[in-house]
Structure 1
Amino acid sequence: MDNPVIIVGGGMVGLSLALMLAKCNIQVTLLEAITYPDEAVNQDIPYHSSFDARNSALSRRSVQIYQELGLWDKLQQHATPILQVHISEQGSFGKAKLVNTEEKVESFGQVIENAWLGRVLLREAQQNALIQLIDGVSVSALHQDAEQVYLTATQAEKTLNLVSKLVIAADGRDSFCRQALGIGVEVHDYDQVAIVTTVQTSKPHQQIGFERFSPLGPLALLPLPGEYRRSVVWPVKKGTEQEWLGEQNDQHFLDALQQTYGDRAGKFEKTGKRFCYPLSQVLAHQQVSGRVVLMGNAAHTIHPVAGQGFNLCLRDAHVLVRYLQHQFAQHLDIGDESVLKNYEQARLADQKKVIFFCDHIVRGFSNNNPILKLARNTGLLAFDLVPGIKPMVANFAMGLKA
């Protein structure tokens, strides 16, 4: 089976990339390990490693990318704009605030539940004639020569042998493709687990996103559709997660939220089921090897603080497609390694900036040294008071200075 481009991994990054390529009239074969629900019978997409209980805070640049794909009208039905961002540390004096009207922007981004984002992307891909979806398939071998990439995969009882000029590996943090290529990784375990859920409060969220650093970990509260629904992402120390999971711990979890957040949301009234995800930083030593490109978490998995991970992956995909579109339009080799290496170099500055920012935020606010605590709270005050800092940080967070 000969395919111009094969994407391994059909999560949110893989599906988004497939739709970008199809918009450029480039045929794509997309391989996904799970079995997708049947769109024809209107099945709900279940929680799994991509369309899970988490939410994505889409930056303004990500929204623009989905607008270019003609998808934003469908996504916006399930999204909530962030009009303000409040940053603080529990028990400290430092506070900072971003307001959309002061920064002269419509919003700082949009929050959408991953299950909804995945559902819209999947349906669009299922209906696109240029995208061949092969689900329930497990890749078992990958090798390449100067001209082609060869994949072996199994689907139920069948063995599939696929050949392509270009393979894009978007198969997650523990990428099989990355391992098959012998690409090493740099790993930092944050010794944290993210507790993720949805809560209901007695006061409306007023489209405010909140990042509060607490002794338990950095708490993110983001607005969701429905005036009183909020997304919670709360990294806590690994090994303590069972304290927060299970229906028997609902009130305990709500009480801890109340103590950490205060009364600005009124009363935390209800919580959904909590899910937990271990947190680590995994950075591939290289993102291009021959005719294979690593994409998404296969290339760089970062801490969810500040919600930058998926937005960074989407910008990677958007830039890669520009390079591939040029090759395709000129009838040139779409898997030319020199072109792929140019893409890799073009993305390094943005990637390093985001990775550095997220990593140092986590490390900086995880240290209870009194001198460091004073320094970071002074920094929050400076952020709020010194002219010129807010627009710079706002543009960075919105993905507009990549």
Structure 2
Amino acid sequence: MPEVIIVGGGMVGLSLSLMLAKAKINVKLLEAIKYPTEHDQKLLEYHSRFDARNSALSRRSISIYQQLGLWTVLQQYATPILEVQITEQGSFGHATLRAQEEQVESFGQVIENAWLGRVLLKEVRQSEYIELIDGVEVTALTQNESSVCVTAVRAEQAMPFEAPLVIAADGRDSKCRQLLGVSASHHDYEQVALVTTVQTSKPHQQVGFERFSPLGPLALLPLPGDYRRSVVWPVKKGEQEQWLGEVNDDHFLAALQHAYGDRAGRFEKTAPRFCYPLSQVLADKQAIGRVVLMGNAAHTLHPVAGQGFNLCLRDADVLVRYLTTHLKNHEDIGTPSLLQAYEKARRKDQQRVIKFCDSVVKGFSNNHPVLKLARNVGLLAFDRIPGVKPLVANYAMGLKV
């Protein structure tokens, strides 16, 4: 019997399985999508799980990958963020965070999900402690006092699995969460994130921009190659079609130019744009008997501050620490009281990040003159009041949770 079953082989599920494998815990990893082979480079690079999006890895997340022995490889595809500039289009407020002033090597590093996923998947396939079973759909999940039974189907063939602990990392619309009867709160931001890569005439110099515009908050982050930058631009739902497709390349570049001015130089080229609906989904419970909800199945956040994936990795890191301690004491790692203790331990960090992301979205999506004045004054205060920047920077880097 495997010691853990993970449902969901996205980046959270892959990362978590490697953390467990490092602790010599056997894992069965179930994934609905059939992954390409490592030789099929084109499909693997832009597979739906390793798509056009990017992850801004906090220093805490980098530390986790260092402990897994993966950062030397991942570093080749990552770019450090040495400075962050926060501004609002057409307003006087601004703030700047500099890694040198905060006495850190960087605030984190940006990596394309395509590369991160490729490295993680390759490592999972090579691990003696992980069995990856892809192309299967979970159809049933039941529990008893000592184990959890999971039924998965592939090509109409039922495949039963059993383990003392199941971790459901199967995304925002988690089938496991539904099978467990766990409800979740949903808040639709009425936005769609446009995601792409652009080339600019000025080198990025490892500077990231957060620019609040009337169309939505834009993130422009540095990528490998001096002139490549990632764009995440939440726009109103229903307005995304005007930005998609090759025929709209010039229109999209002109809109970026208008929003950013000349800070990045000229926006010269753009890759295809992809879009993703934005909502906040929070599970009412994360520990249900011998099952733990993880990743977007537990909490799906707005990408405005780039904190979602980093929060998920911190969750995974803490859970693995709890499990390894129990294993050393020869105790049952699926004990409900243990999983409830994990959930309680993570509550403060999760609530802080959830509240921060939601507040930023709502605070900068309202163009009322009084609120606009208040947030610009707030940006200036943030930029100038001693002691505020180090506190915010440490939270963003995941160093104080």
Q: TM-score, structure 1 length as denominator?
A: 0.98
The range that moved more, 124-133 or 151-160, is: 151-160
* Cα distance in 1, alignment partners of residues 112 and 85 from structure 2: 21
Q: Does 1:350 pair with 2:330?
A: no
Q: Does 1:228 pair with 2:206?
A: no
Residue 39 of structure 1: SS of its match in structure 2?
A: coil
Q: Which residue of 2 aligns with 1:21?
A: 20
Contact 1:56 1:113 in 2 (8 A): yes
* Cα distance in 1, alignment partners of residues 40 and 57 from structure 2: 29
Contact 1:26 1:328 in 2 (8 A): no
* Cα distance in 1, alignment partners of residues 205 and 242 from structure 2: 30
Contact 1:138 1:153 in 2 (8 A): yes
Identical residues among aligned pairs (%): 71
Contact 1:21 1:28 in 2 (8 A): yes
Q: Which residue of 1 aligns with 2:276?
A: 277
Q: Are residues 330 and 260 of structure 1, via their aligned partners in 2, closer, same or farther at CA, if it must alter by over 3 Å? A: same
Q: Which runs of 5+ in 2 are unaligned?
A: none
Report how far residue 271 of structure 1 moved: 0.2
Report how far residue 65 of structure 1 moved: 0.6
Q: Which runs of 5+ in 1 are unaligned?
A: none
Contact 2:200 2:266 in 1 (8 A): yes
Report how far residue 266 of structure 1 moved: 1.1
Contact 1:37 1:43 in 2 (8 A): no
Report how far residue 401 of structure 1 moved: 0.6
- Alignment length (residue pairs): 401
Q: Deviations over 1:6-61 (max 9, x none)?
A: 00000000000000000001000000011111125656415344311100000000
Structure 2 residue identity aligned to 1:36: Y
Q: Does 1:363 pair with 2:394?
A: no
Q: Which residue of 1 aligns with 2:57?
A: 58
* Cα distance in 2, alignment partners of residues 303 and 38 from structure 1: 32
Contact 2:57 2:111 in 1 (8 A): yes
Q: Which residue of 2 aligns with 1:253?
A: 252
Q: Does 1:131 pair with 2:111?
A: no
Contact 1:93 1:377 in 2 (8 A): yes
Q: Deviations over 1:79-111 (max 9, x none)?
A: 000000000000000000000110000000000
* Cα distance in 1, alignment partners of residues 40 and 328 from structure 2: 37
Q: Does 1:72 pair with 2:71?
A: yes
Q: Stretches of 4+ moved more than 2 A in 1?
A: 39-44, 46-50
Q: Deviations over 1:234-278 (max 9, x none)?
A: 000000000100000000000000000011111100000000000
Q: What is the root-mean-square deviation in Å for CA atoms of aligned residues?
A: 0.9
Q: Which residue of 2 aligns with 1:391?
A: 390
Residue 172 of structure 2: SS of its match in structure 1?
A: coil
Report how far residue 156 of structure 1 moved: 2.4
Contact 2:45 2:118 in 1 (8 A): no
Q: TM-score, structure 2 length as denominator?
A: 0.99
Residue 269 of structure 2: SS of its match in structure 1?
A: strand
Contact 1:209 1:221 in 2 (8 A): yes
Q: Deviations over 1:175-204 (max 9, x none)?
A: 000000000001100000000000000110
Residue 104 of structure 1: SS of its match in structure 2?
A: coil
Q: Which residue of 2 aligns with 1:372?
A: 371
